[in-house]
Amino acid sequence: AEAEQELREALVRGNLELFYQPLYNVHSRRLLGAEALIRWRHPRKGLMLPQQFLHLANRANLDIQIGEWVIQESVKRIAEFERTGSPVQISINISPSHLERGDFIATVKAAIARWKIRPELLQIELTEESALRDPELAADRLRQLADIGVTLAVDDFGTGYSNLASLITLPISKLKIDKSLLKDITIRPDARVLVQTIISMANSLGLHSVAEGVETKAQLELLSAMGCDVVQGFLFSRPVELSAFRKLQKQGD
């Protein structure tokens, strides 16, 4: 309960922060945008990762408030990047329960209107779970988001037991291939076949493929040869704080 109280205070005092991990076009190597990943600057424990506190957020019923903060913060940032002449897409992670809330669409619309951004610069990442645990509700929400012009991506693709047939009827534009699938592509032919199949399927469906967790040049070269569009991983950069991301943007120009 004390930890929950601390998290509540962190939200009020501005001790939550977004870190940014850059995404690059495989072929041009241009910086396309970033995935925003939440951190907590704890006064005593230092920088805390999502797996160290998101469970607390759920227990304290703070997950929605935190999700709303993430939307505000990321949209504000998109507006700043547009204003300073380096517009990039920012991708955020949304929990299944947040997507299912009645006011989720209104929250997203209000943020976009308030900061006057181009809606496609906001990308929402959904897990297969959030797309499929209440498929009709999720489909309705995703259609509304697509109507607003927000970009939709399926995160951690390939790790769930998705109903692919329903998944491909959703108005998504990207598949993010989970990093666990990439781990062995340079040494195991079966791992390679699996990733190639996902990339080919994405291409055939008119979806972009994003490879997450790219750590080596060998993986990058293979992904490029396989027709993957976008890459993200420690080979390029870890998730970094805002000031460091701004520097990456300057290098990218």
Q: How far is the CB of 127 from Na ion (least distance, A)?
A: 8
> Residue 128 interacts with Na ion (CB under 5 A)?
no
From Na ion, ligand G, Mn ion, none, interface partner of 167 (C-beta below 5 to 8 A by class): none
24 touches 31 (CB < 8 A): yes
Contact 200, 231 (CB under 8 A): no
Query: Residue 87 touches which of ligand G, Mn ion, Na ion, none (CB < 5 to 8 A by kind)?
Result: none
Asked if 155 interacts with Na ion (CB under 5 A), we say: yes
**Which alpha helices (H) appear in the chain, and where do they start and end?**
2-13, 50-59, 63-83, 96-100, 104-115, 128-132, 135-148, 164-167, 179-182, 189-205, 217-226, 242-252
- Which residue from 6, 68, 125, 229 is in contact with Mn ion, where contact means CB under 5 A? 125
Binding of residue 155 to Mn ion (CB under 5 A): yes
> Could you give the CA distance from residue 112 to residue 84 in angstroms, rounded to a whole number?
18
Q: What is the DSSP string of 193-219?
A: HHHHHHHHHHHHHT-EEEEE---SHHH
Where in 107-166 is the site for ligand G (CB under 6 A)? 155-156
Per-residue mark of binding to ligand G, 45-74 (x: CB under 6 A): ----xxx------------------x----
Q: How far is the CB of 155 from Na ion (least distance, A)?
A: 4
Q: What is the binding site for Na ion (CB under 5 A)? A: 155
